[in-house]
Amino acid sequence: MIARPLELASRLRPPPRNFDAWFYVNAGLLALFFMLCGSRFVLAPGLGMDFKLPRLAGSGASAAPATDHISVLGSGQIYGDQGLLDLPQLRAWLKAVRIQRERAKMPHPTLLVLADAQVRMDLISEIFSAAHEAGFQVIFAAQEPGGPAAEGR
């Protein structure tokens, strides 16, 4: 019985002796590429597919344009423009953004809170109070009960 009828192994080139330098050059170029062209949103945690806005009748009536926004997951994680924030960091971020808005002569900054339907009410109230202390008008995102699916962003 013939196990290797074409004898392909004899027709192959021998492997190169040393590829270690090219490996490090390629790895360095990849790291440089991701540092220069990367984004803080690439490979960063974000909103999952199970993110659902709460349903609230009349939520479309209070719609207004927002200058800034945060997303709050059911687990209590708060995501802003700078990534994951806890409550003290959120307070500092809101104050810094308020100062930037005053320099840009925006008299009434508005914060849109995209909270998952499973977020605890005490966390939402702490976020609202932090935003009011920083001088923001707060809008709570919600879906109309008869509207499209509230899943996703």
CATH number at 77 reads: 3.30.420
User: Containing domain of residue 120, as a range?
Assistant: 59-140
pLDDT at 150: 42
Q: What is the pTM of this model?
A: 0.60
Q: Is residue 98 part of a domain?
A: yes
pLDDT score at 100? 85
pLDDT at 107: 74
The verdict on residue 109 lying in a domain is: yes
Number of separate domains in the chain: 1
Residue 101 domain flag: yes
Asked whether residue 146 is domain-assigned, the answer is: no
Q: How high is the pLDDT of residue 147?
A: 58
76, part of any domain: yes
Q: Is residue 148 part of a domain?
A: no
Would 115 be classed as within a structural domain?
yes
Cα–Cα distance, 90 to 96 (Å, whole number) = 10
pLDDT along the chain (153 residues), means of 10: 74 76 88 76 54 72 79 86 87 90 82 87 92 88 67 47
Residue 92's pLDDT is 92
Give residue 153's pLDDT: 45
What's the confidence (pLDDT) of residue 98?
87
Contact call for residues 111 and 137 (beta carbons, < 8 A): yes
